[in-house]
Structure 1
Amino acid sequence: MITVVGTGTGAPLPPETLAGAELVVGGRRHLDAVRLPAEAERIVLGPLAPALDTIEEYVGKDRPVVVLASGDPGFFGIVRVLAERFGADRLDVRAGVSSVAAAFARVGLPWDDAVVVSAHGRDPRTAVNVCRAHPKVAVLTGPGSGPAELGAALRHAFGKPPGGSLPVPASASGARVLVVASALGSAVERVEWVTPAEAAARDWGPDVSVVLCLDEARVLGGVRTVAGAPAGPAGWALDEREFAHRDSMITKFEVRALALARLGPRLGDLVWDVGAGSGSVAVECARLGAAAVAVEKAADGVERIAANALAHGVHVDVVHGSAPEALSGLPDPDAVFIGGGGAELPAVVTACALRARRTVVVAMAALDRVPAARAALTGGGFSCDGVLLQSSRLAPLPGDVTRLAAANPVFLLWGTRIPVSDEGVDQ
């Protein structure tokens, strides 16, 4: 049997937990904090593979093993690895208080509506994008993805990006504060409230337990039925009447429906809406859980996008500037929607194709723009497909009859990043 004990967030380890253990595995600080049986072998966790191999030797001989872990070892913890290797029936898990629960308790906030994301041993961009999109996030940190790196990324998301235009917050607040909880449960525990810029300027050391990223104006939220990330919207491709817009300059819902399907916005993604106009695409991407940046050159358009985001209860970063110049300081997107047109369209598509990780979608009213946009996508390493969307909506006529009113046709192109093959590369 493998006894897995969560410790390290305040509750002392019961003395009987280690009684009879012949192998004790854990982090150095956990091992140093307990008195081990004299006959027990001790393994300090570093690389998992050697520790798992030693555990297997003991388990195979029915010799008792204790694994010490932080907080709740079943929450982004070692239980998953142990259950995969040895089977859940071989585990006796004794959960402690997770670092996330402890951190929210220290600041007096509920966390059933928090999104929890791990940046430990992972690319931190997912955690950063979740923090951009949601008002209450807990980030489990690790080397190279701690408070400084998180703060540096969010400082540019909610402040002035280097080389770019000034984003206008599209919510009542928009600004984030970071709560850095270090050495939770120890005598040197620290819980500090800092701005992203302040977090970026410090060396936080190895004792950070968790970072909370909060929009203080929206941290309480409402009563929840399902914990975690908010449920997705009941519908999308909203009617144009759901958005403030100027002279019908808005992506029509038929076009928006297919564009959203090709963009695939989801939790952890970053989407650009370039030539955003009313920001309808950016707002819908944010409603689906993605972080969204809207780029718009018209000053009244910037205000309109902010109002639309606020009306739908989401956050959108709005950059006032002209593409492609305004794109230079923005973080790389997973997906890009490009609306509008004009002589600069090929250059905009090219710039976006160089930066997008997954897909670029382009909407155009003019046939003349299609070849150049398609060439820009394929030249940027994308496969390219597209359709001409023509729709007719029901419209009333006098006498209680109905006709079909044709909408202006729109060309929609989408490019999907072609995976780079390593075929033929020397290994």
Structure 2
Amino acid sequence: MTGPALRPVSGVPQRWITVLGSGPLPGRPELVADADLVLGGRRNLDAAGVPADRALVLGPLAPALDAVAALAPASAPAPAPAPAPAPSDGASATTARVLVLASGDPGFFGIVRALAERFGPDALDVRPGTSSVAEAFARIGLPWDDAVVVSAHGRDPRTAFNACRSQRKTAVLTAPGAGPAEIGAALLAVPGIERRLVVATDLGTATERVEELTPAQAAARDWPGVQVVLCLAVADGAGGADGAVGPMRALAGPTEGPDGWALSEEAFEHRDSMVTKAEVRALALARLGPRLGTLVWDVGAGSGSVAIECARLGAAVVAVERTEDGVRRIRANARAHGVDVGVVHGSAPGALDGLPAPDAVFIGGGGADLPAVVTACAERALRTVVVTLAALDRVPDVRAALLAAGFTAEGVQLQAARLAPLPGGVSRLAAINPVFVLWGTRTAPGSIPVDSSATTAPSGDS
């Protein structure tokens, strides 16, 4: 029994766009000489000696793609019945009419995605160089299969900032507004998150520089030419990266998610049962939607159970707690669960001043100032506010505060009964106190404006 015929994937005539990553790859002089159009950054074009009449400096992506489209073959020829022998110098078996000079690995947060979407992968002959992330980690002798990699090119920089706050090994492909100074300042804005930064400048060139700094040092400098910033946790008392090497892994990327959530109350140190019950926490987490790249506030955090659960799910978290004893418990619980939680000692709403805007906010408790706290949080929250309270009398005020801030206002009363043992090996139902859970979602989702560079794509991963 025979399967379908396999079409050759290299050296076929329809591959009319060559994407060349940086590095001493063969075939560059011939490709530059034969191409009708060469795209790339100014540095790459100059280094390759591309004549001005055939060079196009990559800037806004749409005009560049239109220029490439103008050179597309009228129709893609049928695939050859068998692949032609590969040239000895590694060049394509056919002349590419378009050449893209990229940086690093152009298939890793680079221009390959845009080209493949516009012209199809069959049009591309991709020859990657070494990723700048791999280069940066190699310079400091660390593996990076457990690193979170974030690109800030044309994207909301908050994603990169929050990944650096929550993850213990992060690489950021920098962009204007998301360089070492901004990353350092973002880390300083959340108390209690200990990180060290490794800044890689001009990788692979004669002016290459790799240096380690504190967030404060990075925030105080100007940074031209930076390609990648590594953000690494600082081990308690050791000064090195927390879990820098660690055990062998099967999956690359961030730490695998928790086996479950809505942990029992016994999983957290707390005082006099002052901890959000597991059943309530499960619904709150479902409405908060914590995930990698987002920021959650836990206001009136108490034991920090909600904050820690959000951090276990990948979010950056700030816990705000008015009591000194509560602050100590939050920090102890975070250490016990192996997560990083920023902690602010103070009372809301005043303690919220200066904190970075959250995607979602959890508000626990229900004092007389609850409507004012809800209003202050709703003014800053980009997506969701969740409130838990025991007093029915305060439900209308919370709903009114959410609605006035442009949120929806929904809610339920939760009253669970847990199985409890009785003599004789039988069980009864033991009721826990009812709790109101209210939540609101922005009817017109808020956002922090992204620079107009969102229409500009990097040619490669640097």
Structure 1 and Structure 2 fold alike (TM over 0.5): yes
1:192 alignment partner AA: E
Deviation at 1:47, TM superposition (A): 2.0
**Which residue pairs with 1:74 in the alignment?**
107
The answer on whether the counterparts of 2:18 and 2:96 sit within 8 Å (CA) in structure 1 is no
- Report the Cα distance in structure 2 between the residues aligned to 1:144 and 1:379, rounded to whole angstroms: 33
Q: Indicate yes or no: 2:302 matched with 1:277.
A: yes
Q: Indicate yes or no: 2:83 matched with 1:83.
A: no
Q: Relative contact order (C-alpha < 8 Å, sep 6+): which is higher? A: 2
Matches within 5 A, 1:148-167: 148-157=181-190, 167=191
Q: Indicate yes or no: 2:57 matched with 1:44.
A: yes
**Which residue pairs with 1:59 in the alignment?**
72
1:31 alignment partner AA: L
The answer on whether the counterparts of 1:391 and 1:407 sit within 8 Å (CA) in structure 2 is yes
1:7 is paired with a residue whose SS is coil
The answer on whether the counterparts of 1:148 and 1:199 sit within 8 Å (CA) in structure 2 is yes
**Which residue pairs with 1:7 in the alignment?**
22
1:251 is paired with a residue whose SS is coil
* Structure with a larger share of its residues in strand: 1
**Which residue pairs with 2:382 in the alignment?**
357
**Which residue pairs with 1:145 in the alignment?**
178
Distance 1:140 1:342, change over 3 A: same
**Which residue pairs with 1:425 in the alignment?**
none
- Report the Cα distance in structure 1 between the residues aligned to 2:49 and 2:424, rounded to whole angstroms: 89
Q: Indicate yes or no: 2:198 matched with 1:179.
A: yes
**Which residue pairs with 2:159 in the alignment?**
126
The answer on whether the counterparts of 2:107 and 2:128 sit within 8 Å (CA) in structure 1 is yes
Deviation at 1:34, TM superposition (A): 1.6
- Report the Cα distance in structure 2 between the residues aligned to 1:370 and 1:376, rounded to whole angstroms: 10
1:302 alignment partner AA: V
The alignment's C-alpha RMSD in Å is: 1.8
The answer on whether the counterparts of 2:383 and 2:445 sit within 8 Å (CA) in structure 1 is no
Q: How many residues align?
A: 404
- Report the Cα distance in structure 2 between the residues aligned to 1:11 and 1:109, rounded to whole angstroms: 26
TM-score by length of 2: 0.84
2:21 is paired with a residue whose SS is strand
**Which residue pairs with 1:406 in the alignment?**
431
The answer on whether the counterparts of 2:288 and 2:362 sit within 8 Å (CA) in structure 1 is yes
Task: Provide runs of 4+ in structure 1 moved above 6 Å.
Answer: 10-13
2:220 to 201, 219, 234: 201
Q: More displaced, 367-376 or 351-360? A: 367-376
Matches within 5 A, 1:18-37: 18-36=32-50
1:194 alignment partner AA: L
The answer on whether the counterparts of 1:180 and 1:191 sit within 8 Å (CA) in structure 2 is yes
Q: Indicate yes or no: 2:136 matched with 1:103.
A: yes
Deviations 1:387-412 (A, max 9, x none): 01011001111222211101000011
Q: Indicate yes or no: 2:412 matched with 1:387.
A: yes
Distance 1:79 1:367, change over 3 A: same
Deviation at 1:231, TM superposition (A): 2.2
Q: Which runs of 5+ in 1 are unaligned?
A: 158-166, 422-427
Matches within 5 A, 1:204-283: 204-205=223-224, 207-217=225-235, 218=242, 219-283=244-308
Identity %: 69
1:203 is paired with a residue whose SS is coil
Q: Which runs of 5+ in 2 are unaligned?
A: 1-15, 75-94, 236-241, 447-462
Q: More displaced, 289-298 or 143-152? A: 143-152
Deviation at 1:18, TM superposition (A): 3.1
2:212 alignment partner AA: W
Deviation at 1:19, TM superposition (A): 4.8
